[in-house]
Structure 1
Amino acid sequence: MSDDYQIHIPPSFFALYADARQRLTEPIARVRDRYEVCEDLANHLVSHAQVLNHVEVPLEAEILTRIHDGLSTPEAGVSGAEATWIVRRLAELLGWSSAPFEHPHAGR
């Protein structure tokens, strides 16, 4: 059976669904589905964050914190780990620092 999935999933997202031995804790199809949801959401939030930055909240860290808080509610439909990943990805897309949401072991 061929795997024709063409979307690259970054290691940072796979890490959300991996155990200490780097084995997936969910089926690959679910991880792919969740990645697509999270990536789409991060991209969708770009314009919202830009508007907040220009109109309401000048501090990038405050905007990311507010968005993270919103994503951390049960109604958002994402896990806490996914919410943090989305905010990090959003910061990357915007060229902003995601320092408040960096993993304590990032860069190791």
Structure 2
Amino acid sequence: MIFALMLFSCSAPKSDIFIVDVRTPQEFSEGSLKGAVNIPLAEISGKLNEFKDKKEIFVFCRSGGRSSAATELLKENGITNVKDGGGIENARKILNQ
């Protein structure tokens, strides 16, 4: 985990990171991370174009399961500049929020 944190912090400036909350809209409405957009896991395959021009993508969910699935789905579709932030509390630490 520390290695992943170091890799992420050395990459793109935070303003260049596309932060994606893959939880449900209801979960998102209860609170998320600053600057995050809500694209639920179930909708990612239909919204791949929203990811294609992003310099760096950071996905997270409640506990890490959906973010892992989202990361895998994006990579399977040729979007490799994605990092799995895991659950929201872990993502908050990585992004210093």
TM over 0.5: no
Greater share of strand residues, 1 or 2? 2
Using CA pairs below 8 Å that are at least 6 residues apart, which structure has the higher relative contact order?
2
From the CA coordinates, give the structure whose radius of gyration is larger: 1
TM range (shorter): 0.3 to 0.5
Point out the structure with the larger helix share.
1
